[in-house]
Structure 1
Amino acid sequence: MKNPSDLYKKRIDCYSKLAPRISKHMDVVGYIRIVIAVVTILSGVSFFRDTSDYISFGIIIFSIGLFIYAVNFHNKLKSYHKHICILKKINEMSNDRLKGKWTDFSDKGEEFIDEFHCFSKDLDIFGKGSLYQWINSTTTYMGRTKLANILTNPTNEKDEIEKRQKAIRELSKKRWWRQRLQAESMLVLEKNNVKDKSNKDLLKWAVAKDSIYLNSYLKLIIRILPIITVITFILSINDYITFKLPLLLITMQFLMLLANAKEISKQFDLVFKYKNSIKAYEKIIDHFEKGNFKSQYIMNLKDKLRNEDGLIASRQLKNLDKLVERTLYRKNMLFFPINIITLWDYQCMIKLEQWKKQSGLSIKSWLDVIGEIEALSSLAIIDYDNPKWIKPTITDKRSVLNAKHLGHPLLTNKRVCNDINIDNPTKILLITGSNMSGKSTLLRTVGINLVLAYSGAVVCAKYLRCSIMDIQTCMRTSDNLERGISSFYAELQRIKLIINESKKDKEVFFLLDEIFKGTNSYDRHIGAKMVMKQLLKNKAMGLVSTHDLELGDLEKESKGKIKNYHFQENYKNNNIYFDYKLSNGISKTRNALYLIKMAGIDIDEEINVGDK
């Protein structure tokens, strides 16, 4: 397999050269249009001077046709140029992701931040420097929401995870297909000026049925009446009948249009608002339908892209786009007489209602499929960009977490990997170590890799086997002035919730960082001890970090259910160094006073500032 970075650079170079060439072609076609327009005008002047000049007339007709062709060709070049520029941007972002420059990506998923979620805030799932910001390639509202949902609401079905793993692996091998999908999605964002990004109004319109326009008698009248009107009009011109009859019919049709003009305008304006979105969704779905896939998960998604009559989604959306286009004719005042004679508004309403009857109930599931495939494509990027990462093994065995060379996915350049082993009889790893030694990062490393594992993605490890567990964390608690809650009380509430969750009929995996750090050492020790015993009793498992070295005695008391690990630092030439490697046993060092001195705060020289 080629190095992803080399491939991204190659594509960037290719698109950088191609875009200016297309721009030049656009300029040439633009000049040609001007020449054609001038020739047409001159030929028109010549023809009007001498109407028998058939050569000039022929040139006019030919020039008009050529001008229309040039306009269409220029529009195609413009669309192609935009597509190339977007593909260049996608490859630039992909290369930046590999180089660790992804923290400037605009979409951080900040609207998905939930202060009370069981792990997303503590594990940096959303926000600046988050997992979401790192992997996200979704653009549509459905894709962004689905990716956020996958990351924060892990499935507890092993079969679903394994099917998703196969789908993601298949998508990871289709880099060009994924980038085309992302490009189409980015065009949605560029064209979509609708404030309702969730398509709520469109979906509501699609399922609402206006039975009057589906009435057989009304449909018959709407179809026959314009024909009768036209026939009577022709007959009156030839003096076969009086002109009063077609005039009466036209007046009646005008009043029919006037009676429902407000309601019809409201309906047409609503669907027109989503015109660009409908067209873009049709292209995205068409791209998906044409893709060649084998994984069961993706094939199941493709099966959803049909309506109840078995008609494919892209074709139905294309039909809807054409119908919306027809509703625009009424906005042209020159079309007003035709609207009256043909009852055009009613013809369009009947067609729209027929479309809704046929596919209205299916459109939500089609948009959900767009979201799902976008989210899976985002997760597939991890696999493609990190060929040495592995697919985790999900086991039916309870309370298991075995990991070799486990690293934090987001620490591209500063990653230090460790082995983690939690298996019977061990239930809790107690992590000790001095300040800045890596305890919190280890907890987040474990947590974020479990999130990836349950999403179906690859993980940053050489080996990972885990049970399906409910992730619960207590790592970042803070004061809430509005609710009158201190950080310590917020921590108590969070730990109580974790204990309550562990009492339920499910496996809980917890990550507790610096447990009870907001109180005195005695209460912290007793409180932490009681919490861990309670979690053991409830058969929960996880990691606890602490500065309380006396808690290390719990390894003997628990008969191996709690196991001690630590991080240590080294001192050299009055500098402190961390290797961030996990070791067995309790920490033997502390460094708080040393760090205070390094910060430039004067302390008593007689105080030993570090056990070296």
Structure 2
Amino acid sequence: MQNPDNFYQQTSIDNAGKAKTLQSCYDRLALVRLVVFIGWLALLIVLFSNNFLIGLAVFVGSLPSVAYGVRWHLNIQKQAEEAAVLAGLAEGELRALEHDFEHFDGGADFLESAHPYAVDLDIFGRQSLFQFINRTVTAPGRSRLADALLGYHDEGQAARTRVQSKDMEASPDWCLRFRTLGHDLNDEIGNFDRLLGWLDRPAVAPTDWTRVLLFIAPVLTLASIAWMLFMTPWQLGVIGFLPAIWLIRKYQEVTAAEHAHTAAMGNLLKTYAALLEHAETRPGGIELTGAPQRALQRLSFLISQLDVRYNPFSILLEVSTLWSLNKLRRLDAWREEHKADLPGWLAALSETDALVSWATLRYNHPEWTDPVFTNEPIVEATGLGHPLLAPGGRITNDFSINTDGHIHLITGSNMAGKSTWLRTVGINLVLANAGGPVCALSGSDESPVTSPGILRTRPNLQVWTSMRTQDDLSESTSSFYAELKRLKAIIEAVSSPDQEVFFLLDEILKGTNSRDRHTGSRALIRQLIRERGAGIIATHDLELGALEAEPGSHVENYAMEVQVSASGDLVFDYKLHPGVCQSFNATALMARMGIDIPDEEIRLHHK
């Protein structure tokens, strides 16, 4: 497989050059096109002035060639624009490989404050996991990706995502082409809902005896025009217009309502059709009923034809042909024919769109690995790192914990990496449950990865966190009470027989005094163990480390240490060490910030 950096670099160079060449060709041919068009008009004027029939014959005979030439010229510009988009997408991936991914959508609108882990693990928003992964172009695909990261799908769906994204991983050019086709879609989930809602709307075109008038009224209108031009009294010809006018007035509100419901979907469906046509060539294969690309193009065309109603002279077309009503009749027929197929087509499109994101993640990070699922009550990993940290500064750790009532208690000084470690474990479990690869590496921190690490876990292990609880002025809730509510939800989840929970708690009960915090923390830990809960708790309360020595204890102590160099600088290794933390840095940091702490107090603190 080609190196991602080399592939994107070459793709960017090739397509930037192609876009420049095609645009230059288009600009040169624009002048030729203008000259040819003027010459064609001049020839027609001469021919028509000398012999009308010859002029008409030349006009009819040459019109297809002129139209083909215009389409051919416009297609050159389209190819230039697509090449420019493709080059830009490749440039965006090169930036992402440098760990600059803020130009992608962060999905902040998906954030749920009460979700078990979304806020604490940075799943959405700026510098989030969603922003790191997201390459979707459709609103349904975007929602599908978000649902996966929120855990709103089953184990079977995650397994399919894993298999299908691995099939697509080796085809980054296919993925870029898919994104190019949908690049300027600007889709909204409301369009998707409106389209599905349209399927359930009743037929709107005439279905009773008035249906006959759809075919008779235009004939009567033409007959009336002929009467008014060649017969007397001409006023009698007005009678032939009455059926058409009556139908237009009768269905005026229905037509307006149907047009308002479908107006925004015309261009959307045209792009959907192109994306589905490309999706049918998806690596690994995809099964679609019917002919979705042709059917959606047809639907897009019919919807666009209703836009004629915006033209101020549309009344002439309506009276003479009952234009809108006939288009509504064809829309009703399309809906009846494809009502059962359309939801499946849209589901396949959203699935493919989300898979492009997962496949791109795999291609861009070949050093990552797939999780290993086991029925054993265990979570263990080698070389586990935080995916949102730049590889150059990413420190990995190994760990193993029994998920049948065991807790890792992490002590450490400020900025030692405790919170980051909790997020590292949590975010990788989220990736595993969603069907993605995990950031589990091997090799030393200084040497390149030589073989993948592992993450072994129970399938569908539910992650719960309590790390960033804040006060809520709208509910007159203090941060301490907000944390208590969060802990209550975690206890209820742990106690539930319907799910297996892995919790990540950072500095629990931090909103109260040290005595109450210690008492409450000990009680909480013992209760979680009794309920056979498992997880990791980070704390500054070193006295909690004594729980490990209690008879039958299911608590294991780990520490993240800090050292002070000879020059007085703080040195962090961000590594897990067995035991309780033996080093502290808060007083040293406060002294650096200008707080006057006597040297003997600092020395006493660090003894």
The reply to whether TM is greater than 0.5 is yes
- Counterpart contact for 1:453–1:459, Cα < 8 Å: yes
* Corresponding residue number in structure 2 for 1:354: 333
Tell me the SS of whatever aligns to 2:393: coil
Question: Which runs of no fewer than 5 residues in structure 2 stay unpaired?
Answer: 441-452
Q: 1:594 aligns with which of 568, 578, 588?
A: 588
- Counterpart contact for 1:119–1:472, Cα < 8 Å: yes
Q: Deviations over 1:357-377 (max 9, x none)?
A: 222454344333322221222
* Corresponding residue number in structure 2 for 1:369: 348
Distance (whole Å) between structure 2 residues aligned to residue 42 and residue 540 of structure 1: 87
Tell me the SS of whatever aligns to 2:185: helix
Judge which range, 432-441 or 555-564, deviates more: 555-564
Q: 1:203 aligns with which of 172, 185, 196?
A: 196
Distance (whole Å) between structure 1 residues aligned to residue 404 and residue 24 of structure 2: 71
* Corresponding residue number in structure 2 for 1:403: 381
Tell me the SS of whatever aligns to 2:415: coil
Structure 1 position 57, deviation (Å): 7.5
Distance (whole Å) between structure 2 residues aligned to residue 164 and residue 576 of structure 1: 44
Q: How does 1:246-395 map to 2 (within 5 A)?
A: 248-294=239-285, 299=286, 302=287, 305-306=288-289, 311-329=290-308, 331-332=310-311, 336-360=315-339, 362-395=341-374
Structure 1 position 214, deviation (Å): 4.0
Structure 1 position 35, deviation (Å): 0.5
* Corresponding residue number in structure 2 for 1:584: 578
- Counterpart contact for 1:43–1:60, Cα < 8 Å: no
Structure 2 letter corresponding to 1:611: H
- Counterpart contact for 1:43–1:59, Cα < 8 Å: no
Judge which range, 479-488 or 527-536, deviates more: 479-488
Structure 2 letter corresponding to 1:516: L
Q: Deviations over 1:152-185 (max 9, x none)?
A: 125453x443232111211212211111111222
Distance (whole Å) between structure 2 residues aligned to residue 116 and residue 424 of structure 1: 24
* Corresponding residue number in structure 2 for 1:131: 129
* Corresponding residue number in structure 2 for 1:569: 562
Q: Deviations over 1:565-602 (max 9, x none)?
A: 11111211111100111111111111110111222322
- Counterpart contact for 2:124–2:131, Cα < 8 Å: yes
Q: How does 1:112-261 map to 2 (within 5 A)?
A: 112-157=110-155, 159-189=156-186, 197-210=190-203, 213-215=206-208, 217-224=209-216, 226-227=218-219, 248-261=239-252
Structure 2 letter corresponding to 1:430: L
Structure 1 position 473, deviation (Å): 0.2
Tell me the SS of whatever aligns to 2:354: helix
* Corresponding residue number in structure 1 for 2:71: 72
Distance (whole Å) between structure 1 residues aligned to residue 57 and residue 416 of structure 2: 85
Structure 1 position 14, deviation (Å): 0.9
* Corresponding residue number in structure 1 for 2:447: none
Distance (whole Å) between structure 2 residues aligned to residue 155 and residue 41 of structure 1: 62
Judge which range, 282-291 or 601-610, deviates more: 601-610
* Corresponding residue number in structure 2 for 1:434: 413
1:444 aligns with 2:423: yes
Judge which range, 246-255 or 348-357, deviates more: 246-255
- Counterpart contact for 1:508–1:541, Cα < 8 Å: yes
Q: Deviations over 1:392-425 (max 9, x none)?
A: 012223x310101100011123110000101277
Structure 1 position 229, deviation (Å): 6.3
- Counterpart contact for 1:555–1:564, Cα < 8 Å: yes
Tell me the SS of whatever aligns to 2:145: helix
Q: Deviations over 1:6-52 (max 9, x none)?
A: 1111111111211111110110221112101321343345446x514
Tell me the SS of whatever aligns to 1:283: helix
Structure 2 letter corresponding to 1:578: F
Against the structure 1 CA distance between its residues 71 and 269, is the aligned structure 2 distance closer, same or farther, given a 3 Å change threshold? farther
Distance (whole Å) between structure 2 residues aligned to residue 531 and residue 553 of structure 1: 15
Structure 1 position 203, deviation (Å): 3.0
Distance (whole Å) between structure 1 residues aligned to residue 387 and residue 401 of structure 2: 21
1:554 aligns with 2:554: no
Percent same amino acid among aligned pairs? 31
* Corresponding residue number in structure 1 for 2:606: 611
Question: Which runs of no fewer than 5 residues in structure 1 stay unpaired?
Answer: none
Structure 1 position 243, deviation (Å): 8.0
Distance (whole Å) between structure 2 residues aligned to residue 315 and residue 563 of structure 1: 62
Q: Deviations over 1:323-351 (max 9, x none)?
A: 12333445556665453343333221111
Distance (whole Å) between structure 1 residues aligned to residue 311 and residue 37 of structure 2: 24
Against the structure 1 CA distance between its residues 197 and 401, is the aligned structure 2 distance closer, same or farther, given a 3 Å change threshold? same
1:481 aligns with 2:460: no
Judge which range, 285-294 or 535-544, deviates more: 285-294
* Corresponding residue number in structure 2 for 1:39: 39
* Corresponding residue number in structure 1 for 2:515: 522
Distance (whole Å) between structure 1 residues aligned to residue 309 and residue 414 of structure 2: 71
- Counterpart contact for 1:219–1:350, Cα < 8 Å: no
Structure 1 position 533, deviation (Å): 0.9
Structure 1 position 204, deviation (Å): 2.5
Q: Deviations over 1:47-73 (max 9, x none)?
A: 46x514999878766775554333212
Against the structure 1 CA distance between its residues 414 and 232, is the aligned structure 2 distance closer, same or farther, given a 3 Å change threshold? same
Judge which range, 131-140 or 350-359, deviates more: 350-359
Structure 1 position 144, deviation (Å): 1.7
Distance (whole Å) between structure 2 residues aligned to residue 54 and residue 222 of structure 1: 35
Q: How does 1:79-94 map to 2 (within 5 A)?
A: 79-94=78-93
Judge which range, 454-463 or 565-574, deviates more: 565-574
Against the structure 1 CA distance between its residues 8 and 560, is the aligned structure 2 distance closer, same or farther, given a 3 Å change threshold? farther
- Counterpart contact for 1:33–1:67, Cα < 8 Å: no
Against the structure 1 CA distance between its residues 574 and 229, is the aligned structure 2 distance closer, same or farther, given a 3 Å change threshold? closer
Structure 2 letter corresponding to 1:608: I
Distance (whole Å) between structure 2 residues aligned to residue 288 and residue 13 of structure 1: 26
Structure 1 position 106, deviation (Å): 4.6
Against the structure 1 CA distance between its residues 336 and 424, is the aligned structure 2 distance closer, same or farther, given a 3 Å change threshold? closer
Structure 2 letter corresponding to 1:507: E
Q: Deviations over 1:455-481 (max 9, x none)?
A: 110001111110131110000011222
Judge which range, 432-441 or 421-430, deviates more: 421-430
Aligned-residue RMSD, C-alpha = 2.8
- Counterpart contact for 1:123–1:447, Cα < 8 Å: yes
Structure 1 position 316, deviation (Å): 1.9
Distance (whole Å) between structure 1 residues aligned to residue 309 and residue 404 of structure 2: 76
Q: Which TM-score applies when normalising by structure 2? A: 0.90
Distance (whole Å) between structure 2 residues aligned to residue 53 and residue 362 of structure 1: 52
- Counterpart contact for 2:471–2:477, Cα < 8 Å: yes
Structure 1 position 209, deviation (Å): 0.7
Tell me the SS of whatever aligns to 1:421: strand
Structure 2 letter corresponding to 1:152: L
Distance (whole Å) between structure 1 residues aligned to residue 153 and residue 304 of structure 2: 42
Q: Which TM-score applies when normalising by structure 1? A: 0.89
- Counterpart contact for 2:407–2:535, Cα < 8 Å: yes
